[in-house]
Amino acid sequence: MAILVTGGAGYIGSHTVLYLKEQGEDVIVLDNLSKGYSGALLGTLSYKGDIHDESILDEIFNTHKINSVIHFAASSLVGESVSYPLSYYENNVIGTHRLVKKMVEHDVKHIVFSSTAATYGEPNSIPIEETDPTIPTNPYGETKLAIEKLLKWSDQAYGLKSVCLRYFNAAGADPAGRIGEDHDPETHLIPIVLQAALGKRESIKIFGDDYDTDDGTCVRDYIHVMDLAQAHYLAVKKLQEGAASDVYNLGNGKGFSVNQVVETCKKVTGKTINAELAPRRMGDPAVLIASSEKAKRELGWTPQYQGLEVMVSHAWEWHQNNEDGFEK
C-alpha cells in the first residue's frame, strides 16, 4: 500500500517524503511544480499535475494501491492571500474539494492535512491549545480552517478519517544536507537572514520593534522541518491503525523573537548581518507559541531537533552548498 503526498516537492512536503521513505514507506507524489522543485524529490515516483485535475487523480488512484493521502499542495503566503483571496479559495478550498471527492470515489479513507497556526488568528492566551478559538485574520488561515471543516463533515458523511496538523514556524533542513528550503520569492525570516549571511542580500528588514514582547520584535515558535515530517508519519500510522479524526498543534512550546533569530544566525554563520528597522508587516500577531502536549501524548511525537541553533545550522549547511537553491 502506498501513501500519496500532494505538494511533495515543496519545502515541508519534500522533507516528509524523505522521512517516509526512510521509514520504508511506499510514496507517490503529485505536485504541479508551481512552487516545488523536482530536485527536492530525490527520485521519488511523481506525477506532475494539479489537485484540480480529476483525470490525474483518477489515474493515480487507479494505478496505485493508495490507502492514505498526506495533503500539502496549497498556496501558503499570508500576505499574498490578503491581495488575492479568490485565488487562495480556488487553490486551497476548491482544490482540496476535488481531491477529497476523488478520495471518496476511490474509497481512500485516511488523510493527513497540512494546516497552520494561522487558523487561530490573534491568540487570547499563550501557549495556544487546540481547543482555543479559531478566528483567522487572513484568507490563508480562513482557507485552511475551511478545509479542516470540510474534512470534519466528510468524516461524518463518508467515514473519511483525517488528522489536521497545525504547524507553527517550520525551519531547518534535512540534517544530511540533501534537501532544504527554497522559495521564490523568499518571505520567511530564517532563509532571508541566511541569504544576507551569504552576501546575496545587502541587509534584512525587521518588521516592527514596538510589539508587546521583551525586545519589541515578534516572537515565534520554530519547529524543525524533520520533526514536522515525523509527526506526519505518526499521524498516518495512527489513522491506519483505526484512530478517530483529530487536530494537533506542532511546535516546540518555546518562543524566539526576530532579534534572537538574527543573533542566532550571526552566531551559527560567523557572518555580519546588516539589519534595518522597517514598519510592522500587516497581520503579524506579536506572539505565537504552541502547546504541542496533545501531539506528544496522543501521536507519540518526540521532536529530535529542538534548539534554534540546530535548526539554523542545518539550514545554513544547505544554503551554503546550494547558494541558488534547487536547479530551476
Least distance (Å) from ligand UFG to the CB of residue 206? 5
In this chain, which of 60, 69, 103, 118 binds ligand UFG, going by CB under 6 A? Answer: 118
Interatomic CA distance for residues 120 and 3, integer angstroms: 29
In this chain, which of 52, 188, 266, 296 binds ligand UFG, going by CB under 6 A? Answer: 188
Q: What is the 8-class DSSP label of residue 7?
A: T
Phi, psi for 284 (deg, rounded to 5): -80, 115
Q: Which one, 66 or 147, has the nearer CB to ligand UFG? A: 147
Which positions from 210 through 239 interact with ligand UFG, judged by CB under 6 A? 218, 220
Interatomic CA distance for residues 80 and 88, integer angstroms: 9
Q: Which one, 76 or 292, has the nearer CB to ligand UFG? A: 76
> Interface mask (CB under 6 A) for ligand UFG, residues 43-72, using x and -?
------------------------------
Interatomic CA distance for residues 74 and 140, integer angstroms: 10
Residue in the block written with cell 473519511: 160
Rounded to 10°, the helix 95-105/139-158 angle is 20
Least distance (Å) from ligand UFG to the CB of residue 303? 17
3-state secondary structure of 72: coil
Question: Which residue, 321, 207, 202, 302, is CA-closest to 250?
Answer: 302
Report if residue 169 touches ligand UFG, rule: CB under 6 A: yes
Q: Which one, 139 or 303, has the nearer CB to ligand UFG? A: 139
Least distance (Å) from ligand UFG to the CB of residue 1? 30
Where helices occur in 117-188 by DSSP H, the ranges are 139-158
Report if residue 298 touches ligand UFG, rule: CB under 6 A: no
Least distance (Å) from ligand UFG to the CB of residue 207? 4
Q: Which residue is nearest to ligand UFG (CB)?
A: 218
Pick the piece of the chain touching ligand UFG (CB under 6 A) from 64-72, 87-95, 97-105, 204-212.
Answer: 204-212
Least distance (Å) from ligand UFG to the CB of residue 171? 8
Interatomic CA distance for residues 317 and 325, integer angstroms: 12
Active site residues: 140
Query: What cell does 44 get?
Result: 521519488
Q: Vertex 223, ends 198 and 27: CA angle to 5°?
A: 95
Interatomic CA distance for residues 219 and 215, integer angstroms: 9
Provide the binding-site residues for ligand UFG, judged by CB under 6 A. Answer: 76, 78, 116-118, 140, 169, 187-189, 192, 204-207, 218, 220, 258, 281, 284, 288
